[in-house]
Structure 1
Amino acid sequence: MKPVERAQLAMMLEVCAYPKPGNVDRCHDYPDTRLEHFLASTILSRTALEEAETGTGRIGEIIKHAVRDTNTHGGGNTHFGAFILLIPLVYGNDIPGAMKAIEKTDVSDAIAFYKAFAMTTVRMNATDELDVNDPHTLTVIRDREMTLMDVMTHSAGYDMIAREWVTGFPLTRRGADILIRTGPGRDAIVQMFLYLLATEPDTFIIKKHGSAVATEIMRAARDVLDGKRTAENLDAECIRRNINPGSIADIVIASIYIALGEGWSWDS
């Protein structure tokens, strides 16, 4: 299977797996974002993913192209965080290759990334000096000669997607290992999602609801793994409270991509 196909399959498998507490899946939607929007994004991102597979473009520009191409549906941002992880992984074909690629990013990658960010409705840290909504931010990036890796380092303290870049994709690697250890089938994806959710607070939840809620959901995921409550029960609670572990979902996609490349099978 080509890297592009693995990436598209990973996005599709993640959104279809159920129950993943709080996230859109094949059993429930959000008011403004439906399963179909995620599936459309999977298809519409192919051209950008093919750019990454050839390894000839700039990573920042390719992320921008992916966001641009998937903004053509009405469901808002569906895969921005996933693209941040997937595109270097497809570019480098695996985690070591991705790390070599992102270490070569430059100021142009950072500028393109911020232009992509501006196309989304993704929440930022309220005190971030590199505010995507501030036109002066691009001037700051240029003046400081910040590479895209520098931008991710700047964000790593409060964003777990950026932290994957800086620390070598450890949660992505852990998730892939869980899939391979658990075995084939969609239930393995749910188990991996719950394990990662129980590992550390989801930073998308933190940005939307605060650290206390993110810690609460992390502990609730541990209770599910320990058999103290069901995944369906936690899912219902998250939906009721509008709690969305979106960063974990993005890492799950990257983990599925890696696992598929290492022989894990979904078709069982």
Structure 2
Amino acid sequence: MALPGCTFPSSGADRAQLAMVLEVLASPKPGNVDRCHDYAETRLEHFVVSALAARPALEAAGARSAGLGSLIEAAVGATACHAGGNTHFGTFILLVPLVYGGTLKGALAAVRSTTVEDAIAFYRAFALTRVRVAAEDEFDVNDPAAADRLRSRGMTLLDVMAHSAPRDMVAREWTNDFALCRRAADALLADSDPRIAVGRTFLALLATEPDTFIVKKHGPALADETQERAAAVVRGEATLESLDAWCIGRGVNP
């Protein structure tokens, strides 16, 4: 994906911010905040402010001045400057190690080197959000005793992600060499139209990957239906507009 008249920035923090801004400005993305629609409590402007506010944490990641857990905590904490709720928590889980590592190989080395203290800092970051979790999980982030269990079992942040991976596609990226990130990056680089590349890549992933966020919020049946409806759009059997209206009508936020 090339932006006419633009030179892509060289620093990891610059590229991470650009990615966050391009993602929210992309349209259409059915069921999501974008140029076409906001949610009652979360607007496009909240995502842009979040991307700007995260700059110090992203720079710190590029400088490797703290552990991944503390860096994610700092990035999430910075977004408290707006009242739009959780805008980029999952994004930070992916971008922070990528910026920290500088390359995919470096990011993989970084996640494999995480510590118990990284895991505990990550739990503090989780506490700052309204992210949905499984209440029956023994490592429930809302349980004050969870940090003690992490310490007693010596669980690193990578261990926490591995524990969550079967139920969370973002955590799974840490354990499968960032496979979906690499797939999305390849699709974006190959797309010749920057105006719709992000939305097209989003739709392709939605059509082929079960969305674990939808599973947590609405259950597997609705997640499966969302995936099939996205696939129908990809096949040309339905329109983006119809998928968008269906998602919004059911509160589905892929």
2:106 maps to which of 92, 97, 101: 97
Matches of 2:104 and 2:219, distance apart in 1: 31
Matches of 2:193 and 2:75, distance apart in 1: 29
Instruction: Provide structure 2 residue ranges, at least 5 long, that are not aligned to the other structure.
Output: 1-8
Matches of 1:16 and 1:129, distance apart in 2: 38
Aligned residue for 1:134?
A: 143
Aligned residue for 1:149?
A: 158
AA in 1 matched with 2:79: T
Post-superposition CA distance 1:166-189 (Å, at most 9, x none): 111101111111112222412111
AA in 1 matched with 2:18: L
Structure-to-structure mapping, 1:224-263, within 5 angstroms: 224-245=233-254
Matches of 1:95 and 1:190, distance apart in 2: 24
Instruction: Provide structure 1 residue ranges, at least 5 long, that are not aligned to the other structure.
Output: 246-268
Aligned: 1:178 with 2:187: yes
Corresponding residue SS for 1:198? helix
AA in 1 matched with 2:205: L
AA in 1 matched with 2:84: G
User: How far apart are residue 126 of structure 1 and its match?
Assistant: 3.0
Aligned residue for 2:170?
A: 161
Aligned: 1:67 with 2:71: no
Is 1:194–1:221's contact at 8 Å kept on the other side of the alignment?
yes
Tell me how large the CA RMSD over aligned residues is: 0.8
Aligned: 1:188 with 2:225: no
Matches of 1:182 and 1:8, distance apart in 2: 20
Post-superposition CA distance 1:146-196 (Å, at most 9, x none): 000000000001000000001111011111111122224121111100000
Matches of 2:181 and 2:97, distance apart in 1: 13
Corresponding residue SS for 1:85? helix
Aligned residue for 2:128?
A: 119
Matches of 1:52 and 1:235, distance apart in 2: 35
Corresponding residue SS for 1:204? helix
Post-superposition CA distance 1:15-63 (Å, at most 9, x none): 1111101110011000100001000001000000000011221110000
Aligned residue for 2:28?
A: 19
Is 1:71–1:77's contact at 8 Å kept on the other side of the alignment?
no
Q: Which has the higher contact order (CA 8 A, sep 6+)?
A: 1
Aligned residue for 1:206?
A: 215
User: How far apart are residue 11 of structure 1 and its match?
Assistant: 0.4
Corresponding residue SS for 1:24? coil
Aligned residue for 2:224?
A: 215
Matches of 2:249 and 2:208, distance apart in 1: 23
Q: When the two structures are aligned, how many residues end up with a matched partner? A: 245
AA in 2 matched with 1:38: F
Aligned residue for 1:107?
A: 116
Matches of 2:201 and 2:86, distance apart in 1: 23
Matches of 2:103 and 2:221, distance apart in 1: 35
Corresponding residue SS for 1:33? coil
User: How far apart are residue 232 of structure 1 and its match?
Assistant: 1.5
Matches of 1:133 and 1:99, distance apart in 2: 28
Matches of 1:155 and 1:22, distance apart in 2: 25
2:97 maps to which of 62, 70, 88: 88
User: How far apart are residue 94 of structure 1 and its match?
Assistant: 2.3
